[in-house]
Structure 1
Amino acid sequence: MSKSPQTPCHDRVAALALIGLTLAFFAWQITHLDGFRWDYDEGPYMMAAKLVHSGHRLYSEVYSAQPPLFIASIAGAFTMLGPSAQAARAVMVVYSTIGLLATALLARELGGWLAGLSAALLLALAPDFFIYSRACIGDIPSMSMAALAILMALYHRRWRQRRWLALSGLALSAGLLLKLLPLLVVPLLGLIVLLNRSKAFPRLNDRWPPAMADLVWLGLPCLLSSLWCLLAYDFRPMCDQVIGFWLQARAAFRPDLASNGQKIVTYLAVLNGGILSLAAYGLWATFAKRPAQALVMALWLIFTALGLANHAPLWPHLLTAWLFPLAILAGMAVSDLVHRLKVLGSEGSDWSQAKPLLVGLCAMLVYLSTLPATIELDGRLLAAPTSAEDLDAVRFLKAVTAPADCVIADEQLIPFWADRDVPPPLTDTSFKRMFSGRLTAHQLIAMTQEYEAKAIVFWSDGRFADHLPDYLKWVRTNYRLARRYDSGAQIYLPVEPSAHGGFPLALESAK
């Protein structure tokens, strides 16, 4: 994509505009952190961070299937701001803002300032980015750092200074320590390093020694971060929970290429058809003018498709990895359209510009046709969904348990909002953990007895009730039903009434 000559004044104005857009995004998101729950995964992460903040050791005591930086970042926020959903979500906003800026600078590097500003705006408006940049889930934060790693690798191509490769490796390490999703871009970074040497060393044999040295600079921060993990955490439980659990879950669910492919197509064509149309035009236009840059973006899309298609299970929030390359290509499409309009306006009826311009305008029309629905949807996503049952359950737990009491729940956000702890091994009660055989009714019964649980929450998703019926049977024998909701959610208390409490414990049904 050809970049029109820029004056220093123009660059300063564009840079200030990008700073303003980034700050506006951060300010908006940081003031919209309320609501009960965006996704089930918020509960395990917040509860794990709360327990780590309280002094429990990650992995050796607190169960977590995520790399350590994600939980450590949230626990750090809890140390500064106190344990709360808002503090945890604020951490996500910080990482996501970095991702928004990295996306804009990537588009600017490939297509100029207009491409960068457009990419930032398009990404910020995408409903899934609008949601998951505030939700306490690691996908957007980890891919934000992956985008930053790609940006640093492209800066190395421009300035030929290996410090950019070290920074790229550092950003990649941070992304992988948040979540393993950036593994999608590891091959891309390696190819960028090799392509960076293609001009300086046309002969392949001459290219390998400096390219291998570049890869060492890129990989060294990853090696150092791995050593840090070995020193800071117990290796065996960390490896078992992060890697072993992932392998077991993959074996339990098994990748379904047809189903995953259908999910990907639906996500791209139906849920993000507008930005996809612009991105497709942007990729086509870039191939026509700058094949090397188009190759980088095409490979990013290909590696994302291959990685997600082979993922098991493929949850909807994982598909947000598409948004970063799509926003960059869509931003480049906007820049190309404006450039062609200028050329057509100055040179008259130049059909070499008019034909691709018509294709681009059609892509823009598709996006604009989806924009009202996008804005309307964003307007309905200002706070996480909250139900009357959620609020009642939190109030009920606060009333009938003491702060030091232990609660067992298949929805960790209930005790988290009530400022109660769960047993450290039970921060994660996900379907994935149950289906992979890592959480059984026998284990739940043993931990209920060991930690002397003062309340047991069976929430509306039916994790315990539907998939571990033997545990529900045991609880009904040894505990009494104290709260029942129209959704089917239930709360059980010990048979012996607690001296602590302010709710009418005889009440079994709540509207």
Structure 2
Amino acid sequence: MTRLKNFFHQFIIIFLFIGFVLAIRFQPISQTFEFDYDEGFNLIKAFLYSQGFSLYTQIWNDQPPLFTVLLSHWLNIFGHSIFAARLLILIFSALLIHCFYKIISSELGRLPALIATILLFTSWLYIRLSISVMIGLPSLSLAMLSIYFLHLYKQNYRKLYIVFSGIALALSLQTKLFTIVLVPLIFFYLVDFSSKTITSNKYSKKTLINVALWLAPLGLVYISVGVLFQQFWNHEQLIITHLNQPSNSKIENFNNREYLRYMISQDYDYIFLACVGIGTIFLKKHRNGIFPLAWLITSVLVLLNHQPLWYHYYPLLAIPICWLAAYGVAFLSDSFSKKKLVNTKQLIIPSLLVVILIGLVIATPPNPKGSVPRNAELMQLVLKYKDATNWIFTDHPIYAFYAKLRVPPEIAVMSYKRLNSGELTSQEILSVLQNYRPEQIVLSRWTSQLKSDSKFMAYINENYSKTYTNEQGSQEHYILK
């Protein structure tokens, strides 16, 4: 009965978090046309999957399959709306926040955990990513759940938690593979990375059993999901596209140091508090703090060498930064609560740290990222011809999702990464157009690049009538003659 009460208590907390975000961000969740182009890709893939098209063999997909499948079933139950899709992401965010709080709370106390959680929630673009139909946050949420299960195991030594941890991490990797950087860290956490015996080469039989209990479900679930959705037979989509990215120094995202500096500049105040936390970890010998520190160092090293670098990778840094900040909060809290006014000299350093922190909070202005603009006239045209449309060809699939129209699955994802890697050629695009003969064409993102191909434009001019173009010529609509 106690466990059941505890479960419902945690469920209520997660529900309250979701209600809070809905209350303060209901209008953006329900009315924002598109936060990021990735939303359109994820939504149209889920829509096509629900229509019976298979991933990889029919629907081009450069990401693991789990999120697309889950989102598809979710939308089938709650309706194919942007609000329902964003609600699913918010649930994942609530799970991440809850696990984050519970882990820190048991280690450092409620106050440091609460403040660290608030810092994470208010970190750069976290709220935005909590309501954007993108796969990074769900993947990190499942990874955090994996860590939380191991944390529960260290509290009561129930081995079932180790199994759950392996399963959760496998699901995380099958959502987005970027959490693979956490696999060795979580592994060392499992073998008691923070214990005094970690330097010993003599691991007990119990440790080996625990490792097996974690690795077996991790590998089994990961492989099973991949086999079920034919993931491993399409390495060109999953691997080659990501590795075959020609560098382009003219684009901000390819200048890793500059862009990484830009990202962390949004949270200098949090980073300062994290630095205090790092000092506290070594000063007070908080061995548990090595895990978030290792997470931060690993993520920085990976992001410095990964191109292109996208803003939605930032939670990989924000989570360990805020986790380390909790140690800084604990240090400041203990400094003021224990010393009080008995020895004013001992209060000088913590007081100075607080002053610096306040100064950094004031000096770090918010820098929100804008949304993708909606062309209402273009959307109306798509809806106008919807009843006579079986297929719509578009480089901006969010229009197709709102109209509940099918996009040729081969071009469901016409992303910068795919075009830049040469994975999608002009000839392939033309072949799709010729094979499907879509009743509508919407060009909204790669218009100039597509129109630069003479064969592509010759085919359109011969078979389609232009119904709309904006003043800049960047958005166009065609219907089949």
Fold match (TM-score > 0.5): yes
**Is residue 245 of structure 1 aligned with residue 209 of structure 2?**
no
Give secondary structure in 1 for the equivalent of 2:442.
Answer: strand
Relative distance call for 1:438 and 1:186 in structure 2 (3 A) is: same
What's the counterpart of residue 349 of structure 1? 343
The question of whether the paired residues in 2 share the 8 Å contact of 1:184 and 1:304 is answered with: yes
Query: Is the contact between residue 120 and residue 319 of structure 2 (CA under 8 Å) also seen in structure 1?
Result: yes
C-alpha separation between the residues in 1 aligned to 2:410 and 2:480? 24
Which of 386, 391, 394 matches 1:409? Answer: 394
Counterparts in 2 of 1:305 and 1:177: CA distance versus 1, 3 Å:
same
SS at match of 1:31: helix
Q: How does 1:362-441 map to 2 (within 5 A)?
A: 362-369=355-362, 373-374=365-366, 386-387=373-374, 390-402=375-387, 404-441=389-426
Q: Is the 8 A contact 1:157 1:196 kept in 2?
A: no
Task: Tell me the residue number matched to 1:445.
Answer: 430
Contact 2:40 2:401 in 1 (8 A): yes
| Partner SS for 1:480 | strand
Q: Is the 8 A contact 2:75 2:85 kept in 1?
A: yes
Quick one: which amino acid aligns to residue 437 of structure 2?
Answer: E
2:192 match: 195
CA–CA distance in 2 between the matches of 1:195 and 1:467?
Answer: 58
Instruction: Note the C-alpha offset of 1:94.
Output: 0.9
Measure the CA separation in 1 of the matches of 2:198 and 2:222: 35
* Secondary structure, counterpart of 1:70 in structure 2: helix
CA RMSD of superposed structures (Å): 3.2
CA 442–26 in structure 1, closer or farther in 2 if over 3 Å, else same: same
The residue number in structure 2 matching 1:267 is 263
**1:360 match:** 353
1:428, distance to aligned residue in structure 2 (A): 0.4
Instruction: Measure, in 2, the Cα distance between the counterparts of 1:451 and 1:150.
Output: 47
Q: Displacement, 1:494?
A: 4.2
Per-residue CA shift, 1:234-285, capped at 9, x if unaligned? Answer: 2455443223333334x677999992122112211x2121222222222222
Q: Go from structure 1 to structure 2 and tell me whether the alpha carbon gap of 1:275 and 1:20 turns closer, same or farther (over 3 Å shift).
A: farther
Moved more, 294-303 or 238-247: 238-247
Name 1:458's counterpart in structure 2: 443
Query: 1:49·1:74 contact (CA, 8 Å) conserved in 2?
Result: yes
> Which residue identity does 2:241 align to in structure 1?
F
Per-residue CA deviations over 1:167-206 (Å, capped at 9, x if unaligned) read: 221221121111011112112112212335844x577232
Q: C-alpha separation between the residues in 2 aligned to 1:43 and 1:29?
A: 24
Instruction: In structure 2, give the amino acid aligned to 1:369.
Output: I
**Residue 93 of structure 2 contacts residue 141 of structure 2 at CA under 8 Å; is this kept in 1?**
yes
Residue pair 2:108, 2:327 contacting (<8 A) in 1 also: yes
Unaligned ranges ≥5, structure 2: 1-5
What's the secondary structure of 1:358's corresponding residue? helix
* Partner of residue 85, structure 2: 88
In the TM superposition, what is the alpha-carbon distance from 1:411 to its structure 2 partner?
A: 0.8
Equivalent position SS for 1:483: strand
2:389 touches 2:440 (CA, 8 Å); kept in 1? no
Distance (Å, rounded) in 2 between the aligned partners of 1:394 and 1:36: 11
Give the C-alpha shift of residue 69 in structure 1.
1.0
**Residue identity opposite 1:429 in structure 2:** M
- Write the distance in 1 (CA, Å) between the matches of 2:363 and 2:11: 29
Q: Which residue matches 1:285?
A: 280
Per-residue displacement from partner, 1:59-94 (whole Å, max 9, x unpaired)?
221111111111012101111112121121111111
% identical equivalent positions: 21
Residue of structure 1 in register with 2:43 after alignment = 46
> Contact 1:43/1:412 (CA < 8 Å) preserved in 2?
yes
C-alpha distance in 1 between matches for 2:280 and 2:452 = 51
1-side partners of 2:333 and 2:467: how far apart? 64
Cα distance, 1:209 vs structure 2: 4.5
- For 1:17 and 1:56, the matched residues in 2 are separated by 37
Following superposition, the deviation at residue 438 of structure 1 comes to: 1.3
The residue type paired with residue 221 of structure 2 is: S
Q: Which moved more, 1:236-245 or 1:281-290?
A: 236-245
Q: 1:310 Cα shift? A: 2.0
Deviations 1:357-397 (A, max 9, x none): 134313431353157x44xx67x98xx5543xx22111111
Distance 1:401 1:202 in 2: 63
**Which of 322, 329, 332 is 1:327 aligned to?**
322
1:503 alignment counterpart: none
Instruction: Give the corresponding residue for 2:75.
Output: 78
Match of 1:501 in 2: none
Contact kept in structure 2, 1:401 and 1:454, CA below 8 Å: no
**Matches of 2:118 and 2:336 in 1, distance apart?**
21
CA contact (8 A) 1:253 1:312 kept: no
Describe the shift of the 1:466–1:365 C-alpha distance in structure 2 as closer, same or farther (beyond 3 A): farther
One-letter amino acid of the counterpart of residue 273, structure 2: L
TM-score of the two chains, using structure 1 as the length reference: 0.83
CA distance in 2, matches of 1:49, 1:137: 12
Deviation at 1:43, TM superposition (A): 0.8
Q: For residues 403 and 183 of structure 1, do their structure 2 counterparts lie closer, same or farther at Cα, with a shift above 3 Å needed?
A: farther
Identify if the C-alpha distance between structure 1 residues 432 and 23 changes in structure 2 by more than 3 Å, giving closer, same or farther: closer
TM-score by length of 2: 0.88
- Evaluate the alpha carbon distance shift between residue 433 and residue 469 of structure 1 in structure 2; reply closer, same or farther with a 3 A threshold: farther
| Counterpart among 310, 314, 334 of residue 315 in structure 1 | 310
In structure 1, the residue corresponding to 2:149 is in which secondary structure? helix
Q: Distance in 2 between matches of 1:30 and 1:225?
A: 35
Deviations for 1:396-422, whole angstroms, at most 9, x for unmatched residues? 111124264211111111221122111
Partner Cα distance (1:323, 1:398) in 2:
41
Cα 1:143–1:25 change in 2 (3 A) is farther
Provide the C-alpha distance between the structure 2 equivalents of 1:466 and 1:482, rounded to a whole number of angstroms: 16
Name the stretch that deviates more: 451-460 or 236-245: 236-245
